[in-house]
Amino acid sequence: MSCAGLVGIFGGVNDIFDLAHLELWLAFGVAVVVLLLIDLLVAHRHAHVVSIREAAAWSALWIGVSLLFNAGVWWLLGGQRAMEFLAAYLVEKSLSVDNLFVFVVIFRTFGVGPIYQHRVLFWGVVGAIVMRVIMITAGVALVHRFHWILYLFGAFLVYTAVKLAMTAGQEAHPEKSAAVRLARRWFRVAPGEHGEKFWARSGGRLAPTMLFVTLIAIEISDLIFAVDSIPTVFGISTDAFVIITSNIFAILGLRALYFLLAGTIYRFHYLSHGLAVVLGFIGIKMLIGELVEIPTWISLLVVAGVITIAILLSLRMKKEEGRDSGPNPPPSGEIQP
């Protein structure tokens, strides 16, 4: 390949990934790899039920690392990029909470006990990171080349917001999806219990276990949510660095957040309504971007304010229900969607 061709390729990659700030990319990569290795090889080397205390500690760690990284973005790239990162992180974090409802249903449907759920979610997150990096890279490249795609994203978000508002509170049924049904048909699942193994010997050959089918269902659910969440972040920033890092930091804290909220997530009744408002706002912002420019700090205030109000209203409703009917906590070990 000619030198001109190499320069052209490098220039295209640099336009997408902003390699001028390679130190931030390296810091991000090192932080992600180190924490994942600690999580897998030290904290969860042996399968066990994740306690609320352990989940809270990991949640605090992931949020702390994310905010520390955000401070680094502010220091090296300025306040505008830092606000974009924080707004995108809050959006992704909020949307990921909605994804937890589906995780609860998937684990209940496939009969995966609490002791093995962390293993499924860990590898589910690894797969989600790979998928999202590919999708975001392709999206940024398309937006840089065809700016009008942002209008399609905006229209899609408005449609998604209306759909989410109309279906809020309805129970999800991921086991009925065509992808999960095909996975069950393609793979000859090894019968019986196989602990934390994804593959086991059955009839003299290696076959996937039900835990592996559960992992596929988790990956499918994240792919579906990514189709909604990634266009949302493009309404906040078109910078690949901001989108990728905020997305991945939000995903990395998803497992700890699941174990922290799994027993109480049913209380967030108005969260889906709040997310619908956020999606609608960002979609409209993208559609009118050429006519009215809404500053990033306003987007940040809207996202944080709407999500906070939705959570407070949910907690207030739960408190009033408890006052009317008396305390009625879910049975021990049972998770209510």
What are the average pLDDT values for consecutive 10-residue runs of the chain, which has 337 residues? 39 51 80 81 71 85 90 88 91 78 78 83 86 85 81 84 73 55 64 71 74 84 79 84 88 84 69 82 84 81 86 75 49 38
Domains of the chain: total: 1
Which amino acid is located at 116 in the chain?
Y
Whether the CB-CB separation of 90 and 16 falls below 8 Å is answered with no
Whether the CB-CB separation of 247 and 144 falls below 8 Å is answered with no
Closest Cα partner for 254 from 139, 117, 161? 117
Does residue 12 sit within a domain? no
Does residue 223 sit within a domain? yes
Does residue 7 sit within a domain? no
Does residue 143 sit within a domain? yes
Per-residue pLDDT at 4:
42
Does residue 337 sit within a domain? no
Does residue 327 sit within a domain? no
Does residue 26 sit within a domain? yes
Does residue 6 sit within a domain? no
| pTM, two decimal places | 0.75
Per-residue pLDDT at 83:
92
Per-residue pLDDT at 21:
66
Per-residue pLDDT at 149:
83
Per-residue pLDDT at 89:
92
- Look at strands 205-208 and 199-202 and give their pairing: antiparallel
Rounded distance, CA 333 to CA 336, Å?
10
Per-residue pLDDT at 291:
81
Containing domain of residue 168, as a range? 21-321
